[in-house]
Chain A
Amino acid sequence: MNDYSITPGDAITLTVDGSPVEARRGQTIAAALVASGRRTFRETRMNGRPRGLYCGMGVCFDCIVKVGGETVRSCMTPVEDGMRVTLPVQLTRAGAER
């Protein structure tokens, strides 16, 4: 990528479903997920279909993930060092895992 003399924020690490993912301070969770090569962010509640980043600007809520039990839009939420992100799964599966 052409950098135009832009230096991203410091390198930090978050965990996604327990696995470490590198990110840059200031980035959103969504950007960190895409940069790590991940396209599917979650499963839908009813049909368990894969979803990823769609509108990228806080409108559609397709990119929602969980941070510390709270549902957030990954495209609107900046990463933090040591942040624990979990990816939502289908309701029936989530029930079975409980």
Chain B
Amino acid sequence: MTAVRETDVAVIGAGPAGLSAALAAAQAGVRVTVVDEYPAPGGQFYKQLAAGFRVGNRAQLPYDYTKGDALLARVRAAPIEILNDALVWGSFEPGVLEIKHRGAMGRLRYRAAIVATGACERPAVFPGWDLPGVMTPGGAQTLVKTQRVLPGKRIVLAGSGPFLMPVANTLIQAGAKIVAIYEATTPREWVRHAPRLWGHWARMSEALRYWRAIRGARVPVRFGYMVVRAEGEDALERVVLMRCDRDGNLIPGTEVTEPADTLCAGYGFIPSVQLTHMLGCEHTYHTARGGWVPAHDDAMQTSVAGVFVAGEVAAIGGAHAAMAEGTLAGLHAARTVGRPVSDSAVSGAATGRAQHRAFAELVSDIFAVKPGVLDCITDDTLVCRCEEVTAREIRAAAIAWGANVNFVKGVTRCGMGYCQGRVCGSLLEGLIAQALAVPPDSVDFLHVRAPLKPVTVRDLAALAERD
């Protein structure tokens, strides 16, 4: 027997966007159910300590631990149902989500849905990126912040984007040894965007705080470098980097080698759009927003009536934009199910959103992924970690079968494994587009199938006993 729940507004994801959306909708008087895959609400931005860990004095915690306290307290005080350890693994009819909640299969019927599934990290790919010891910056941050375990003894941070700074800060505060930070862009490239920083003082002071922590720990920061390979026998021993120009073309003769047991490398984020695809929302390609994103109107409603989006899933933009969007989506979703919502509340959220999105666009322009990153992917480099498919196989399949990621997926199995293309999907788009010299938005996106994340045969068998 599977449990069937009913709600007015289903919110998928309990990060800054989802929690803000839930709060706005609940305050408008509708029933709200939040579904979240993780053990506690907060998402990746407000990562919580592992359950069972005790805090003697919360005031001693670094700001990164407590920055979500106010929002989480407001959410807990509101009449919001939160289902944690709850995976949305499919949707087979409008208005119904298939969920696996604490190991049990169930369904959630909703009148409006707000998809706030966030983003995952855009991988830095080079020979050896599959070696143990190479991980994403967010993975290292999670390990330190929630588990209180350091990822290694000699850590190199590399890739690009503002996210490297808070990760460095978390590692430094925990006492980790960061050998160096290698950022692919250079301050010289940033200069032409500098005038647009005017007015974004809060975000700039945040960056300055992280910068001071990095300088204070005497961690060298080198600009204009990319990782070209990771070396080691059974695990990472050395990171090899090269200087690059503004387009990411590697400059011969600039190789440097850093002995390290841990490399945290990433190029920002990719919107997690698997669920919006499954719900039938139209998607459009926007490089600055992170690739394929669901199209939406000013009310954050997608092409599917009653389905809204908020936060990173709609466009990479950080927690502040996500919260404003969550509020906006929550208010409009409440309206959709028939609750009165004041126009001033809506316009307030819309104004906040516009301001934070302007900053997000500036950041994405400054740290735009350089086309040359694909040149680090040699033919022998693994692209699909799950199905162990190399770049050579992908390039050959693209030439033989044509400019569509789904053809190449079918031929090579790239994107067919456990992660369902979350790690390799954008890479596949880039490699095929490069191999055939066509724009990346012309090669389609990986079609999604249920289950969106793996469930067991036993789980599926339980569905047969339904109703």
Interface residues in chain A, defined as those with a beta carbon under 8 Å from any beta carbon in chain B: 1-10, 24-28, 30-31, 34-35, 39-41, 44-47, 49-62, 64, 70, 75-76, 78
Cross-chain pairs A/B with CB under 8 angstroms, 6 sampled: A34-B149, A46-B387, A54-B385, A56-B136, A56-B139, A59-B423
Interface positions of B from 34 to 56, Cβ below 8 Å from A: 37-39, 44, 49-56
In the complex, chain B residues whose CB is within 8 Å of the CB of A70: 456
| Residue B319 CB within 8 A of the other chain | no
Q: Is B53 in contact with A60, judged by CB distance below 8 angstroms?
A: no
What is the 8 Å Cβ interface bit string for chain B, positions 110-135, against chain A (1 contact, 0 not)?
00000000001100000000111111
Q: Is A57 in contact with B142, judged by CB distance below 8 angstroms?
A: yes
Q: Is A28 in contact with B52, judged by CB distance below 8 angstroms?
A: no
| Residue B342 CB within 8 A of the other chain | no
In the complex, chain A residues whose CB is within 8 Å of the CB of B235: 39-40, 50, 52
In the complex, chain A residues whose CB is within 8 Å of the CB of B175: 1-2
Closest to B423 in A: A60
Among B53, B134, B139, B173, point to the contact of A6 (Cβ < 8 A): B53
Among A8, A55, A57, point to the contact of B148 (Cβ < 8 A): A8
Q: Is B418 in contact with A61, judged by CB distance below 8 angstroms?
A: yes
CA distance A50 to B120 in the complex (A): 23
**Which of B44, B121, B142: most chain A CB closer than 10 A?**
B142
In the complex, chain B residues whose CB is within 8 Å of the CB of A26: 49-53
Q: Is A56 in contact with B150, judged by CB distance below 8 angstroms?
A: no
In the complex, chain A residues whose CB is within 8 Å of the CB of B388: 44-47, 49
Interface positions of B from 414 to 466, Cβ below 8 Å from A: 417-419, 422-423, 453-454, 456
Q: Is B149 in contact with A35, judged by CB distance below 8 angstroms?
A: yes
| Residue B205 CB within 8 A of the other chain | no
Q: How many residues of B contact A (CB 8 A)?
A: 56
Q: Is A4 in contact with B136, judged by CB distance below 8 angstroms?
A: no
Q: Is A61 in contact with B386, judged by CB distance below 8 angstroms?
A: yes
CA distance A63 to B260 in the complex (A): 21
Q: Is B56 in contact with A78, judged by CB distance below 8 angstroms?
A: no
Q: Is A6 in contact with B54, judged by CB distance below 8 angstroms?
A: yes
Which of the 9-residue segments B57-65, B72-80, B250-258, B351-359 touches chain A?
B57-65
Report the 4 A-B pairs with minimum CB-CB distance, sorted nearest first.
A56-B139, A26-B52, A52-B132, A9-B52
| Residue B411 CB within 8 A of the other chain | no
7 other A-B residue contacts (CB within 8 Å) besides A1-B148, A54-B135: A4-B65, A6-B56, A31-B147, A46-B387, A61-B386, A61-B417, A76-B38
In the complex, chain B residues whose CB is within 8 Å of the CB of A52: 131-133, 135, 235
Among A8, A34, A54, A55, point to the contact of B53 (Cβ < 8 A): A8
Using known A-B contacts A5-B55, A6-B54, A47-B388, determine if residue A59 contacts B132 with beta carbons closer than 8 Å. no
Interface positions of B from 367 to 397, Cβ below 8 Å from A: 385-388
CA distance A56 to B151 in the complex (A): 11
Smallest beta-carbon distance B273→chain A, Å: 13
CA distance A34 to B153 in the complex (A): 11
Q: Is A60 in contact with B419, judged by CB distance below 8 angstroms?
A: yes
Q: Is B149 in contact with A55, judged by CB distance below 8 angstroms?
A: no
Q: Is A54 in contact with B234, judged by CB distance below 8 angstroms?
A: no
**Which of B139, B422, B454, B456: most chain A CB closer than 10 A?**
B139
Smallest beta-carbon distance A35→chain B, Å: 5
CA distance A66 to B151 in the complex (A): 22
| Residue B174 CB within 8 A of the other chain | yes
